[in-house]
């Protein structure tokens, strides 16, 4: 029976490991590397001396992950190869979590906790990112495993394993301090509990001593001495385990002493681009990302797929997600407090609650919160939730854990679907952007970035293109935090050089809200007779970036204007939509007034418009009036919901030397989208335009 149980246990752990591998290697190379990943393996390309002496001075992470990647890079630098390291480490953490939690929780709860870790969206996300998160999580779990083994059977080998794992965890990421400090707190509380236990048993021990010396029965004296010896041996073994574990943690802390100054600086400095959060906000986000969150920039959006209103109200959407994970939180709290073998658990509450308290307190002082930092804490909250489910099952309240497990599994599946298949949650597509610029940019074009650091991911792919214009930088990284006047002089010098040669410009605006808060670059381009032809943006949270194409001179601007365009198949350049336009579903919404810019026709012309009128929104007849250079040329009235193709009467361009003609469109009825669709959009809209063309009129 014992052999069959052991075999079942091994196969179960192997199955969980296989599940973790599958989820972490699924679509591993589908997304482009983003700047954090590229910065990580570029640092790993340095020499080992530079990694251990230079990197800690400029980077917010200790050097262990760069050291491991330094050797892993020998296998290649493709997306799959680089990400296979964190994927493998994240998968290994699943069986290690089972081994670490088996003693304090039992096999059933440990197995369920390992399952939740295998499918956890945040763990899957971090397993597909070339960063430190899965490494530090694995090392923290190894430290917990070594600690439980040391307390169960005090040996120097397991204590040495604890010291090594704890030391390596601190050299992986500074946030490992929180779970390791929780281990130290657990040892202190365990020592206090053991001391109280000795105090409670002091009277019984005294009686055993009295029996051993004063009983007339030799058998009784022998049994009393044996019982006292066994009791002292058990107490002594526990004290030896606590002493060895404490010594191991002290040794780990001493080994980290050379990096304590960097640790203090990084924690107190925080991350300047992250927002400051209050206690309630930190706890809300920590709860959501612990159970169902994945990407750094935004929580899952599967509720928004059912109701678009949530997509436009992120705070309320986050509150809804928090409410959705409340059952898991309740189970975790129950699992921390339920008695086992007549005593309340100590390890799980300390490991789950103490680090969260530390992160929350630190976030009050400095903007440091990052969902990925939570990953080393996630296994313990999942373990507490699993312990709560198992405890309810044992007490024959089986409906509650089954319903809660199915609910959490449903949320997990929806979150993973978001991560794998929803572009809104993907990393920046620097791979596609670099290929596009290399393919479409003119040979004499200037490809501009604000500074070298923000271009790393783009350069990783761009440098592989066979023929490409060079990348130029508007200023060096050190100037970002320098005097504004110095930065403006540098920008002016770069733009003067570009304009002097009349070069087209491709501006890649990444973190431009920090690098160019006063929009000096765009103002400088316009002042030098540049016109914006294209602007495409991706704005998911911190990963916002825009691609802009600018051309110099009137001739190039005129050449870019189209005589006819279709928003779905042949979209116009941005400067052709002069004013009053809003993004739509493959089309463009028009406001109450809008303008179109065309090349001046040689003779008489007609304007052809294709647009959609929705009377469910407008609730009344709509009249569209069109004018050329202020002179009316025609109008149309629509009373029902339908697609409209309208052609104006022939008209002649007004006299003048202007090479372009500006057509004005105006309507007499608009609607506010938020009033009818409850989507948070308060900008007035009217018709949805699909296509426009300026055609020569038949004589």
Alpha-carbon distance 652 to 699, whole Å? 12
Between the CA of residue 253 and those of 171, 181, 352, what are the distances in Å? 11, 10, 21
CA triple 677-682-683, angle to 5 deg: 110
Alpha-carbon distance 123 to 116, whole Å? 10
Which candidate, 82, 92, 91, places its Cα nearest to that of 124? Answer: 91
Structure tokens at 325: 């994970």
Between the CA of residue 265 and those of 215, 269, 300, what are the distances in Å? 66, 6, 33
Q: What is the pLDDT of residues 540-595, one digit of tens each?
A: 544 568 899 998 887 888 888 899 999 888 888 888 888 889 887 778 999 999 99
- pLDDT over 80 at 102, yes or no: yes
The total of other beta-carbon atoms located within 10 Å of residue 690's CB is 21
Q: What is the mean pLDDT of residues 451-459?
A: 88
End-to-end CA distance of the chain, in Å?
A: 98
> Please, are residues 425 and 418 in contact by the beta-carbon 8 Å criterion?
yes
* Predicted pLDDT at 542: 46
CATH code for residues 428-559: 3.40.50
Q: What is the mean pLDDT of residues 406-420?
A: 94
> Please, are residues 504 and 442 in contact by the beta-carbon 8 Å criterion?
yes
Give the alpha-carbon dihedral of 476, 478, 481, 486, to 10 degrees: -60
* Predicted pLDDT at 541: 46
Read off the pLDDT band of 308 (50, 70, 90): low
DSSP result, 339-359: -BTTB--SHHHHHHHHHHHHH
- pLDDT over 90 at 67, yes or no: yes
Read off the pLDDT band of 167 (50, 70, 90): very high
* Predicted pLDDT at 275: 64
CA 277 from centroid of its chain's CA atoms: 17
Look up the pTM and report it.
0.86
Alpha-carbon distance 150 to 240, whole Å? 9
* Predicted pLDDT at 8: 85
Runs of H (alpha helix) within 171-294: 177-200, 202-214, 218-255, 260-269, 279-291
* Predicted pLDDT at 666: 96
Alpha-carbon distance 495 to 493, whole Å? 6
- pLDDT over 70 at 637, yes or no: yes
Q: Which range is least confidently modeled, 208-212, 241-245, 269-273, 469-473?
A: 269-273
Alpha-carbon distance 656 to 465, whole Å? 46
Q: Is 561-699 a domain of CATH 2.60.120.260?
A: yes
* Predicted pLDDT at 258: 84
Which of 7-16, 50-59, 511-520 shows the highest mean pLDDT? 7-16
Alpha-carbon distance 25 to 187, whole Å? 37
* Predicted pLDDT at 266: 67
Mean pLDDT of the chain: 87
Q: What is the mean pLDDT of residues 187-205?
A: 82
* Predicted pLDDT at 21: 98
- Classify 609 as helix, strand or coil: strand
Alpha-carbon distance 196 to 209, whole Å? 20
Q: What is the mean pLDDT of residues 280-304?
A: 84
* Predicted pLDDT at 272: 53
* Predicted pLDDT at 241: 93
- The structural domains of the chain, with segments of one domain joined by +, span 30-77, 132-255, 428-559, 561-699
3 state SS for 25-93: HCCCCCCCCCHHHHHHHHHHCCCHHHHHHCHHHHCCCCCHHHHHHHHHHHHCCCHHHHHHHHHHHHHHH
- pLDDT over 90 at 81, yes or no: yes
Runs of H (alpha helix) within 338-429: 347-365, 378-394, 399-421
Alpha-carbon distance 600 to 195, whole Å? 93
Q: What is the mean pLDDT of residues 174-194?
A: 92
* Predicted pLDDT at 406: 96
Q: Which range is least confidently modeled, 129-133, 343-347, 454-458?
A: 343-347
Q: What is the mean pLDDT of residues 173-186?
A: 93
* Predicted pLDDT at 73: 93
CA triple 242-373-27, angle to 5 deg: 120
């Amino acid at each position: 029976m014992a052999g069959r149980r052991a075999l079942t246990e091994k196969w179960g752990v192997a199955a969980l490991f296989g599940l973790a591998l599958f989820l972490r290697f699924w679509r591993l190379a589908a997304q482009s590397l983003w700047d954090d990943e590229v910065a990580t393996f570029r640092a790993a390309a340095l020499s080992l001396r530079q990694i251990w002496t230079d990197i800690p001075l400029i980077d917010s992470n200790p050097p262990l992950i760069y050291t491991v990647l330094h050797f892993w890079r020998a296998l290649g630098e493709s997306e799959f190869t680089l990400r296979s390291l964190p994927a493998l480490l994240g998968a290994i953490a699943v069986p290690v979590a089972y081994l670490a939690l088996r003693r304090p929780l039992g096999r059933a709860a440990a197995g369920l906790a390992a399952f939740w870790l295998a499918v956890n969206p945040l763990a899957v996300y971090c397993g597909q990112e070339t960063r430190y998160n899965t490494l530090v999580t694995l090392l923290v779990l190894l430290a917990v495993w070594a600690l439980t083994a040391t307390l169960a059977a005090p040996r120097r080998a397991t204590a040495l394993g604890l010291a090594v794992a704890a030391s390596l965890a601190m050299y992986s990421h500074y946030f490992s301090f929180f779970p390791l400090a929780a281990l130290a707190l657990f040892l202190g509380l365990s020592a206090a509990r053991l001391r109280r236990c000795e105090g409670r048993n002091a009277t019984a021990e005294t009686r055993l001593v009295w029996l051993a010396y004063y009983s007339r029965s030799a058998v009784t004296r022998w049994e009393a001495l044996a019982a006292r010896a066994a009791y002292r041996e058990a107490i002594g073994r526990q004290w030896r385990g606590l002493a060895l574990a404490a010594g191991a943690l002290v040794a780990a802390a001493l080994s980290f002493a050379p990096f304590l100054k960097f640790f203090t600086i990084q924690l107190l400095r925080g991350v300047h681009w992250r927002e400051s959060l209050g206690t309630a906000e930190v706890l809300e986000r920590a709860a959501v990302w612990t159970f169902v969150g994945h990407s750094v920039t935004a929580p899952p959006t599967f509720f928004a797929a059912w109701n678009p209103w949530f997509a436009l109200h992120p705070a309320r959407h986050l509150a809804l997600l928090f409410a959705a994970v409340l059952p898991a939180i309740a189970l975790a709290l129950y699992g921390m407090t339920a008695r086992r073998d007549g005593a309340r658990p100590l390890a799980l509450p300390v490991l789950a609650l103490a680090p969260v308290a530390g992160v929350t307190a630190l976030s009050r002082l400095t903007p440091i919160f990052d969902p990925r930092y939570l990953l080393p804490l996630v296994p313990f909250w999942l373990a507490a939730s699993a312990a709560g489910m198992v405890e309810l099952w044992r007490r024959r309240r089986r409906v509650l854990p089954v319903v809660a497990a199915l609910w959490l599994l449903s949320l997990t599946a929806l979150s993973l679907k978001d991560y794998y298949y929803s572009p809104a949650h993907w990393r920046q597509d620097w791979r596609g952007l670099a290929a596009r610029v290399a393919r479409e940019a003119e040979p004499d074009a200037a490809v501009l970035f604000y500074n070298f650091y923000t271009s790393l991911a783009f350069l990783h792919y761009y440098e592989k293109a066979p023929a490409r214009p060079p990348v130029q930088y508007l200023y060096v990284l050190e100037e970002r935090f320098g005097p504004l006047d110095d930065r403006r002089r540098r920008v002016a010098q770069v733009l003067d050089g570009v304009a002097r040669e009349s070069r087209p410009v491709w501006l890649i605006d990444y973190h431009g809200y920090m690098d160019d808060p006063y929009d000096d670059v765009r103002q400088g381009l316009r002042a030098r007779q540049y016109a914006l032809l294209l602007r495409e943006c991706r704005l998911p949270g911190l990963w916002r970036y825009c691609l802009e194409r600018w051309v110099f001179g009137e001739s190039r601007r005129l050449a870019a204007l189209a005589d006819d365009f279709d928003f779905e198949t042949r979209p116009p350049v941005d400067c052709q939509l002069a004013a009053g336009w809003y993004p739509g579903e493959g089309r463009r919404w028009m406001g109450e007034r809008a303008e179109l810019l065309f090349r001046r026709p040689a003779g008489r012309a007609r304007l052809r418009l294709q647009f959609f009128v929705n009377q469910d929104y407008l609730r009344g007849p709509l009249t569209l009036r069109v004018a050329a250079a202020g002179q009316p040329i025609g109008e149309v009235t629509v009373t029902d919901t339908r697609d409209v193709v309208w052609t104006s009467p022939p008209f002649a361009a007004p006299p003048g030397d202007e090479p372009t003609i500006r057509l004005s469109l105006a309507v007499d009825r608009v609607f506010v989208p938020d009033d009818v669709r409850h989507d948070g959009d308060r900008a007035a809209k009217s018709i949805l335009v699909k296509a426009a063309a300026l055609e020569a009129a038949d004589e």
